[in-house]
Structure 1
Amino acid sequence: MMSEEVKKPWKDGLHSEKRGIRSGKSEDNMKQINKLLVANRGEIAVRIFRTLNRMGIATVAVYSEADRDSLHVQHADERYLLQGNSLSDTYLNIEQIIAIARECEADAIHPGYGFLSENPLFARAVEETGMIFAGPTAEAIALMGNKKEARVLAVSLGIPVIEGAVGSAEELAEKAGEMGYPVMIKAAAGGGGKGMRIAWSEKEFRELLESTQREAKNYFGNSEVYIEKYLADPRHIEIQLLADHDGNIVTLYERECSMQRRHQKIIEEAPAPNVSASLRNNLCEAAIKLAGKIGYRNAGTIEFLVKEDQFYFLEMNTRIQVEHPVSEMITGIDIVREQIMIAMGKPLSFTQNDIKISGHAIEARIYAEDPANGFLPSPGKVHFHKPPSGKGVRVETALSENGEISAMFDPMVSKLIVHGTTRETARKKLVKSLRHYVLLGIRTNIPFLIDLAGTSEFVEGKSNTNLVEHLQQNRKNVQPHIPDKELLAMAFLFAKPVKKETGNSTWQNIGYWRLLPDAHLLINREPLTHHYFYHNPHHLSVQKNNIHKDYRLVERTDDSLRIDVSGNIHTLYYHARNGEVFFHHEGVTAVVSHARYLGRETLRAINENPVLEGDSIVRAPMHGTVVKISVKEGESVAKGDTLLVLESMKMENKITATVMAYVKQIEVNQGDIIENDAPMIILTDKIVH
């Protein structure tokens, strides 16, 4: 355990060793909320508005120019444009948001998650105006938002923490050596998976320390970091709390959040599988002890790392969590509603004994990213979006049928939440729903999530925070989904418009029906020649390896095809654009076009690798900001060396050399904002003088 002097920067509040405590009511804090502004964007704003509408509270949205078409703007009663282009000018601009709240005469502000939600200056500014902050006090946010101070509090209460250290860069380097590598470098004001790096050796410690400090300053306005001894393959389990003004505290029990990539959760569930009653009780009691000590109120989450039955305090999130829906679905409690009721000064209307666990819920986060390429962000235009639906299926998103996934924000597109009577029922429902989740135009992690939910480790509830990385490294059970190229080729030929189109349409570009023995196509930019037999516009067949297959078009709409393949019905969704047709089938997406209609960008993508031998241009794999250039002109680089660091969608991405080469020319400067495919560095196989 870390040797830390126990200070008391907090005020003693109520606490109890019992799981769930109640005290007498007080009418002193009662206030009414008639109109509320949500100082956030995207799916969480939409989700908050839904509850506010049920409560009869008028809703106010704020939005940046990039979010003009977002659902959260459309769903609000009133909407106000945030002036400015950067996050600091818009969603992080306390002064502007407070001014809008005053202008529209809002009674309260809900911060959502991320952005200003854990900024004590924002909470205090709201309270000083006389408005209600739908969250904890500024003092609680300040204390628990500083991970170092939160550790001190945990230590004072006898709650285990992982061995760690604080200090200057030199002191941290020295203490890391004393503790032994690997160590985790963490932002003191961090959260949400940001501001975290694992240093495996002394050699890389300095570079990672600087990178973590830079990211911490960028996201949290505080470059302060500390280190902890790295705990191998732990589980990440958290406790959901609700606390009112009278000191009543209850838990909605635990959530399992161990399935992570890049320290960010991708699958969460409740209750956590394979948790003993004693471990659940110990976690809940520790969480209530922490919250009670500081007199916490509103919704909060205490996170722990768990190794076998030993647990360690990790951090407290003083806000609503991304994954809160799984707790709602197993308890039937609307956490946002409780936040609003508590903010109005009303006591909790239920006790711990009233809260029962019913069934099992699992949430999958849908990200615009490429799992096959290190989970690089994949912002861009969504041509068609059709989430799944059904009993026990819930989708939280701010994306309508189409829209733009901006590089300015986190790459999460939506959350898919399912509920079943048992964990296995919920897991199967998750897989089925993922297979029917249609997102055309961008790369997503949907196929990866489908595979992940089918691994033996996940099926058996044996996940840990490093499982995703281990599975990828070993390629065990998690393989890229390969589209059925024959089905796609036939679907492409069936996808003829119902009505004759005029003008220069996609269908004129790709060609109408022709009695050709071969279809020369590109599927995901790979050439394919397919021999088929034409019977009529609704019936094609293929003869291959002495096997005959009939393809019959059963139904065609503007965005879907139902095709009978020798008695088996397949449903595909599609969108035609610029000579290409985007398809979705069973969780897999693909782009199909006639080989003779290739655009310049497609040709370049087929024929050009990111880094080649000889003079070669290293191009940006995404829109982003150059935050660091790691090489100089004339230097030699080895395969795997970092050339520069590009920040996109709130994540830093190392751009590395794929061959040994020399840096001929650097085309960008630190701080430059560059577009996807922009030239960044020119490499050569010749010595540069």
Structure 2
Amino acid sequence: MSKFTRVAIANRGEVAVRIIKACEELGLETVLLHSEADVNSRAYRMATHKVCIGPAPTAESYLNIEANIQGALAMGAQAVHPGFGFLSENAHFAQQCEQAGLTFIGPSADAIRTLGDKVSCKALAKKAGLPLVPGYEGEDQTLNTLMKEVEAIGLPVIVKAAAGGGGRGMKLIKQMSEAAEQIESAQREAKSAFGSEVVFLEKYLDRAKHIEFQIFGDSTGKVMHLFDRECSVQRRHQKIIEEATSPSLTEELRRKMGEVAVTLGTLGKYKGAGTVEFLLQDGKFYLLEVNTRLQVEHPVTEEVLGVDLVKMQILTAQNQFVWNDNEVRIPRGHSIECRIYAENSYMGGVPSTGLLGTVHWPEGPRRRYEFGFEKGDTITSYYDPMIAKAIVWDESRPRAIEKMIRVLKDATVFGVHTNIPYLIEILSHPEFVDGTMTTRFIEKNFAEGLKATHNEDERKKLSQDIYKKFIASGAGADAGSLNALTPGQTNSPWLSHWRGI
């Protein structure tokens, strides 16, 4: 593939901004393939060219393969970057791009089918003798068969979508009386989010840590790993805080897990950025899945290793990136990422909609922010409510924790609720500070979110008064967004099926 000059971005929000910035540094023009709902977004303002590919519902825009391809071709793009989520792990999309003459910036369609599909990935790993969690990945997807397999595996059992991740299509079965309902619910969600209702079953490890290894296949097919990340702080199976490297691994465990990650990537003939995920419990690790795409949490790896994964992806798609065997990559310091969501931490994480007012991310050494929305942009109920990521680096994990807490305390977001108070409480918790947290950390310590204190009620009232003056001055958002600052708000459309699945 010769060098291309224009890249289409089949995504939205902060990842679209991240890709645009990488393209700009490489001297490439960009084409944002966006829905009607994302006209008022930072990526829309930054992209060289824009093409509306459909209305707000994802099935009619971001998941519409034909609309994405035709939009890219109409603007003369030679390549498509899928970001993460949506069509990023869709083998059919990758294949259709290639057939249309577009370079898919990611692994081949065959590699996505082999490793991105959770069932085929586990079959390959089993054949290679790699460590797996006990489970069922069979073709028989009838409810009766799945129920029998749940009994055979033994409770608790987790149901997962074969074609995706991010917590969608994932249900935990604790009692057989709820098994049928949970399986059918997982199948519906998987169909809605990924276009496939195929699921698989796994024994649920209740004291596990979630560890992942960043892999990257270069233009020659050589696969390397870029060390590990700790992603144990999760809510409803979706990560909230990630860090590199993991405080949970010995050097021996790190070596063994890295070898398994590279072996799997090599067997799958992997090219580009990908992630091999593991569960670690009682000193033993088990393969969880492979994400055949860029990860939300990729910045922490970039910070400790001094690499740019997005530029590496783009260069690899042009056959211009090859590993240098003489270069030794050693993680330095520690990096933490917090996902900042538009949600009410005092109402169990109910997403918050509205017009953004003043937004300020505090500057400082080794602080990094990736965000897709600015003052005046609207946070809608159509998509995931993550509005930004805050990333810090420092020389040690304790200092990185202290820096992140300072960053969050100094950050300002008007117009919507955010989970910033929630993140600060998590970072300050003894289990997080000493690194002993597991995937049940949130369930154990913050199952109902945060409880409002008297001081918090006073702070909310003060922020309301300030914001009312802000709007009255004519400098802020319209009065409708005041609802976002009202304690006990119950009118958010996200209160019911806010993910649309």
Is the structural similarity TM-score above 0.5?
Answer: yes
**Which of 405, 409, 429 is matched with 1:435 structurally?**
409
**Which of 111, 133, 137 is matched with 1:162 structurally?**
133
Q: CA deviation at 1:347?
A: 3.6
The answer as to 2:30 corresponding to 1:68 is no
- Equivalence for 2:436: 462
Read off the aligned partner of 2:45 and give its amino acid letter: Q
* Residues 579 and 356 of structure 1, relative CA distance in 2, 3 Å threshold: closer
Q: CA deviation at 1:292?
A: 0.5
The answer as to 2:494 corresponding to 1:649 is no
Separation of aligned partners in 1, 2:288 and 2:478: 48
CA offset digits 1:571-630 (Å, max 9, x no partner): xxxx68649989xxxxxx966xxxxxxxxxx9xx79xxxxxxxxxxxxx75315xxxxxx
- Equivalence for 1:622: 492
Read off the aligned partner of 2:19 and give its amino acid letter: I
Query: Contact 1:398/1:414 (CA < 8 Å) preserved in 2?
Result: yes
Separation of aligned partners in 1, 2:448 and 2:352: 24
- Equivalence for 1:249: 223
Query: Contact 2:355/2:477 (CA < 8 Å) preserved in 1?
Result: no
* Residues 364 and 41 of structure 1, relative CA distance in 2, 3 Å threshold: same
Read off the aligned partner of 2:497 and give its amino acid letter: E
* Residues 350 and 214 of structure 1, relative CA distance in 2, 3 Å threshold: same
SS of the residue corresponding to residue 56 of structure 1 reads coil
Read off the aligned partner of 2:332 and give its amino acid letter: S
Query: Contact 2:464/2:485 (CA < 8 Å) preserved in 1?
Result: no
- Equivalence for 1:115: 86
Query: Contact 1:40/1:91 (CA < 8 Å) preserved in 2?
Result: yes
Q: CA deviation at 1:156?
A: 1.0
- Equivalence for 1:417: 391
Query: Contact 1:506/1:576 (CA < 8 Å) preserved in 2?
Result: no
Read off the aligned partner of 2:472 and give its amino acid letter: T
Read off the aligned partner of 2:343 and give its amino acid letter: E
Unaligned runs of 5+ in 2: none
**Which of 331, 339, 343 is matched with 1:369 structurally?**
343
Q: Which has the higher strand share?
A: 1
Q: CA deviation at 1:494?
A: 8.5
Query: Contact 2:312/2:321 (CA < 8 Å) preserved in 1?
Result: no
Equivalent pairs, count: 498
* Residues 579 and 266 of structure 1, relative CA distance in 2, 3 Å threshold: closer
Read off the aligned partner of 1:435 and give its amino acid letter: K
* Residues 65 and 492 of structure 1, relative CA distance in 2, 3 Å threshold: closer
Separation of aligned partners in 2, 1:436 and 1:215: 38
* Residues 281 and 362 of structure 1, relative CA distance in 2, 3 Å threshold: same
Counterparts of 1:60-139 in structure 2, within 5 Å, are 60-139=31-110
Q: CA deviation at 1:350?
A: 2.9
**Which of 143, 168, 181 is matched with 2:114 structurally?**
143
Separation of aligned partners in 1, 2:45 and 2:320: 30
The answer as to 2:19 corresponding to 1:53 is no
Separation of aligned partners in 2, 1:131 and 1:579: 43
Separation of aligned partners in 2, 1:188 and 1:226: 6
Q: CA deviation at 1:219?
A: 0.4
Read off the aligned partner of 2:105 and give its amino acid letter: A
The answer as to 2:15 corresponding to 1:44 is yes
Q: CA deviation at 1:473?
A: 4.6
SS of the residue corresponding to residue 437 of structure 2 reads coil
CA offset digits 1:92-116 (Å, max 9, x no partner): 1111221122121111111101111
**Identical positions, percent:** 37
Counterparts of 1:221-620 in structure 2, within 5 Å, are 221-351=195-325, 353-473=327-447, 480=452, 483=455, 506=472, 578=479
For normalisation by structure 2, the TM-score amounts to 0.93
| Structure 1 runs (4+) greater than 4 angstroms displaced | 478-482, 484-498, 575-582
Query: Contact 1:447/1:480 (CA < 8 Å) preserved in 2?
Result: no
Q: CA deviation at 1:416?
A: 0.7
- Equivalence for 2:193: 219
Read off the aligned partner of 1:80 and give its amino acid letter: V
Query: Contact 2:304/2:333 (CA < 8 Å) preserved in 1?
Result: yes
Unaligned runs of 5+ in 1: 1-29, 499-504, 508-557, 560-574, 583-588, 592-601, 607-619, 625-644, 653-689
- Equivalence for 1:176: 150
Read off the aligned partner of 2:149 and give its amino acid letter: K
Query: Contact 2:416/2:485 (CA < 8 Å) preserved in 1?
Result: no
SS of the residue corresponding to residue 416 of structure 2 reads coil
Q: Which has the higher helix share?
A: 2
Separation of aligned partners in 1, 2:201 and 2:176: 13
Larger RCO (CA within 8 A; separation ≥ 6): 2
SS of the residue corresponding to residue 374 of structure 2 reads coil
